[in-house]
Chains A and B, each alone.
Chain A
Amino acid sequence: MYYWLALILIPVGQISLSIYLCVILFKELRNEKKDT
Chain B
Amino acid sequence: MNKISLIIYLLPLFYIVYKTRWVKSMESFAVADRKMSTALLFASISATFIGPGYSLGFIGQGYHWGFLYLMFGAAYAVQTILVGIYIAPRLRETSSRSGNDKSIVTLGGFFKAKTGKTYIQCIIGSICLLVCIGFSAVMLHAGGTLIHTVWKWNMTFGMGIIALVTAIYTMSGGLKASIYTDVFQFVFFVGLISLAVLLILFEMDTDISFDFSTTASILWEKGMNTYSIWEILSLLFMFFLGETLIPPYATRTFSSKTPSVAKKAFIFSGIFSFFWFGFMLLIGIFAYMFLGAQELEGDIVLFSLVEYSHPFIQNLVGLSIFCIVMSSLDSLFNAAAIIACNDLYIPEAGEEKKLQISRIAVLVIMVIAFISALSINSIVGGLLQVYSFWAPSVLPSLFYVIWVRSPKFQAVVVAIIVGFLTVLYAFLFAMKDYKDMLLIAGFIMGILSLFIMHNIKYKK
Binding site for B on A (CB under 8 A): 2-4, 6-8, 10-15, 17-22, 24-25, 28-29, 32-33
Contacts and interface: CB of A to CB of B under 8 A. Distances in A.
B216 interface: yes
A32 B180 CA distance: 11
B191 A3 contact: no
Interface residues of B, number: 34
Given A12-B198, A24-B39, A19 B19 contact: no
B43 interface: yes
B189 to A, nearest CB: 9
Nearest to B39: A24
Contacts of A12: 194, 198
A32 B28 CA distance: 12
B186 interface: yes
B65 interface: no
B186 A21 contact: yes
B384 interface: no
A6 B191 contact: no
Interface string B280-309: 001101100000000000000000000000
B184 interface: yes
A25 B40 contact: yes
Given A3-B216, A25-B183, A32-B19, A14 B194 contact: yes
24 contacts: A3-B212, A3-B282, A7-B279, A7-B283, A7-B286, A8-B201, A10-B282, A11-B193, A11-B194, A11-B195, A14-B191, A15-B190, A17-B272, A18-B187, A18-B191, A18-B194, A19-B191, A20-B39, A21-B186, A22-B187, A24-B183, A25-B40, A25-B183, A29-B180
Contacts of A22: 187
A15 B15 CA distance: 22
Contacts of A28: 37, 40, 180
Interface of B: 15-16, 19-20, 37, 39-40, 43, 180, 183-184, 186-188, 190-191, 193-195, 197-198, 201, 208, 212-213, 216, 272, 275, 278-279, 282-283, 285-286
Given A7-B197, A21-B183, A29-B19, 5 more contacts: A11-B193, A24-B37, A24-B40, A25-B187, A29-B16
A25 B190 contact: no
Given A3-B213, A13-B275, A17-B190, A25 B180 contact: yes
Nearest to B21: A36
A25 B213 CA distance: 39
Tell me if B's interface is mostly helix, strand, loop or mixed: helix
A14 B279 contact: yes
A10 B180 contact: no
Contacts of A17: 190, 272
Contacts of B40: 24-25, 28
A24 B292 CA distance: 42
B197 A11 contact: yes
B208 A4 contact: yes
Contacts of B187: 18-19, 21-22, 25
B201 A25 contact: no
Contacts of B180: 25, 28-29
Nearest to B196: A11
B279 A11 contact: yes
Contacts of A2: 213
A3 B191 CA distance: 20
Contacts of A6: 278-279, 282
A20 B268 CA distance: 15
A6 B278 CA distance: 9
Contacts of A13: 275
Nearest to B208: A4
Nearest to B194: A11
A14 B285 CA distance: 19
Nearest to A26: B12
Contacts of A7: 197, 201, 279, 282-283, 286
